[in-house]
Amino acid sequence: MNKIFYTALIGIGIANAAAYKIPEQSLDGMALSAAHVAHSTGADSAYYNPANMAFLDDESSYIEGGLSMVYLPSIDFDGEQYISVRGYIPADAESEKEWAVIPFGHFVSKAMGDWRVGVSITSPAGLTKRWESAVQKGFAEKFYLMSMEINPSVSYKISDTLAVAAGLRAVYSEGEVRSDGSDMGLPFKREMKGNVVTGGYNLALSWKAMPDLEFGATFRSKVDLKEKGEANLYIGNAGRHYSASVTVPMPASLDIAVAKTFNNRLTIEALYERTYWSSYRRLDFEYNKDIQDMLVAIFDKPIDKYWKDSNTWRLGVTYLYSDRLTLMAGYAYDESPIPTKTLGYELPDSDANIFSAGFRYKQDEHLSWGVAVLYDHKDSRSIKKMENEAGIAGRFDKGGAILVSSGFEYKF
């Protein structure tokens, strides 16, 4: 079930960043490495900072749509795995390569006095990780998470320089988790699938301190996911079916940004993001009946997470090359929230350097389109013996992600 799976992986509720957030949810957002909160000037302001909707052309509506192609290279692991009945055993392996397609869409209405309405459809969180190697299959043969969020919002213009906004978040997710220890001589297997609908809220502020100096801030709430679903647990070929539940938090996040424009052509935005992952402390599954005694220690023991709040620093540059062509580039440094002691094969995350670039071309006064590319480079991560509660000892390397987005915006 997804719910179980969803929680087994997560604790989020946001939007490629630390863990499994996906903050790049528009053409400009991708090109700027999501440094797009203070100076968002189109339909995607409905997502990145809905308070900025108040400063768009009063007589126009805006719509944006597009697709992001995601490629996840293999993660290499060179090391050993501790198994209680066998001690440390060799565990060198390479995860499977993954592909995914993520759609996005944004809409902003015409002004209604000082009020404005917008809505975004995004995929703020996602993960897919598969291992076919014997040892890793015993922990994470497949971990998959898909999410879709509908986020309506309303902005209010307090003055010509100050606006606020608020919105609601309705999130649907589905996922799957599998593990199978039979290839390393352990006859234990699990299969879980499911889905969940949950919600939260977001708040935003935009201040045009000067014509060429802008400030923006957004906050997304924590949401506790009270998941219920189905699980099949096996000893050898003998399996049992259970109803199962687990509670996992989707952490709150805060973005604070400033943008400066030079000569009406060059805009530089700096953004600080804080994600409150520390709300994810333990993962504890509950079943509707007692599970097999041999499976209690494997599938019914609370799992420590103790993730930590993480920081992300983003920098975006926008340059109006001509009346038709806009060039963009971005960089971000993204901290991983996962401590060494609770790192697992399902999400062997590490700190990352993110680089991006793209363009937008104005076809006419109504239509613009463009392409953006982003490269997420993950640092290698080493774990010494006895440092990891799951018994992992070795080095994770490579991985990361490559994303390519194409999209259009129509103003009418």
Q: Which of 186-200, 213-227, 385-399 has the highest mean pLDDT?
A: 385-399
The tokens describing 408, both together, are: 């259009």
Pairing between strand 253-262 and 303-304? unpaired
Better pLDDT: 157 or 296: 157
Task: For 360-389, write each residue's pLDDT tens digit.
Answer: 999 999 999 999 999 999 999 999 999 999
Residue 14 has pLDDT above 80, yes or no: no
Q: What are phi and psi of 29, to 5 degrees?
A: -60, -40
Homologous superfamily of the 2-407 domain (CATH): Outer membrane protein transport protein (OMPP1/FadL/TodX) (2.40.160.60)
Residues whose CB is less than 8 angstroms from the CB of residue 324 and which lie 6 or more positions away in sequence, other chains included: 361, 362, 363
Residues whose CB is less than 8 angstroms from the CB of residue 237 and which lie 6 or more positions away in sequence, other chains included: none
Task: For 118-163, write each residue's pLDDT tens digit.
Answer: 999 998 776 788 999 999 999 889 887 778 899 999 999 999 999 9
| pLDDT average, residue stretch 37-66 | 97
- The pLDDT assigned to 150 comes to 95
Q: Which of 7-11, 13-17, 123-127, 161-165 has the highest mean pLDDT?
A: 161-165
User: Predicted confidence band at 294 (pLDDT cuts at 50, 70, 90)?
Assistant: confident
CA pair distance 206, 352, nearest whole angstrom = 29
Helices and strands, number each (H, E), in the chain: 5, 25
Residue 180 has pLDDT above 80, yes or no: yes
User: Predicted confidence band at 20 (pLDDT cuts at 50, 70, 90)?
Assistant: low
CA distances in angstroms from 399 to 74, 205, 247, 348, 351, listed in the order given: 5, 36, 29, 9, 12
Of all residues in the chain, the percent with pLDDT exceeding 70 is 94
Residue 53 has pLDDT above 50, yes or no: yes
User: Predicted confidence band at 177 (pLDDT cuts at 50, 70, 90)?
Assistant: confident
| pLDDT average, residue stretch 54-75 | 96
Residue 72 has pLDDT above 70, yes or no: yes
User: Predicted confidence band at 288 (pLDDT cuts at 50, 70, 90)?
Assistant: confident
Lowest mean pLDDT among 11-20, 145-154, 269-278, 285-294: 11-20
CA pair distance 101, 323, nearest whole angstrom = 32
Q: What are phi and psi of 81, to 5 degrees?
A: -130, 130
